[in-house]
């Protein structure tokens, strides 16, 4: 038993993508309780970076 009182630790694969442009930092993350490694899908990263780029250029 652990100090927190749990019998078994739960391992959760976690992936994080961080991108900085100037003073702006974007962090995109995901987790998966399966046995596979977690990964942030390229389409999600690409879409979010396009939105960020559009917002930064319009300011």
Which ranges of 1-59 does DSSP label H, i.e. alpha helix? 42-58
Query: Which residue is listed with tokens 């559009």?
Result: 54
pLDDT at 16: 92
pLDDT at 18: 92
Dump pLDDT digits (tens) for 2-59.
566 666 777 788 899 998 888 888 899 998 877 788 888 899 999 988 988 887 777 6
| Residues 32 and 38: beta-carbon distance below 8 Å | yes
The model carries a pTM of 0.62
Q: Please give the backbone phi and psi of residue 34, each rounded to the nearest 5 degrees, phi first.
A: -75, -175
Q: Please give the backbone phi and psi of residue 57, each rounded to the nearest 5 degrees, phi first.
A: -80, -20
Cβ neighbours, 10 Å, residue 3:
5
């Amino acid at each position: 038993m652990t100090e927190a009182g749990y019998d078994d630790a739960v391992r959760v694969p976690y992936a994080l993508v961080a991108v900085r442009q100037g003073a702006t930092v974007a962090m995109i993350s995901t987790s998966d309780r399966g046995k596979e490694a977690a990964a942030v899908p390229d389409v999600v990263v690409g879409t979010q970076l396009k939105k960020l780029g559009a917002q930064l250029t319009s300011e």
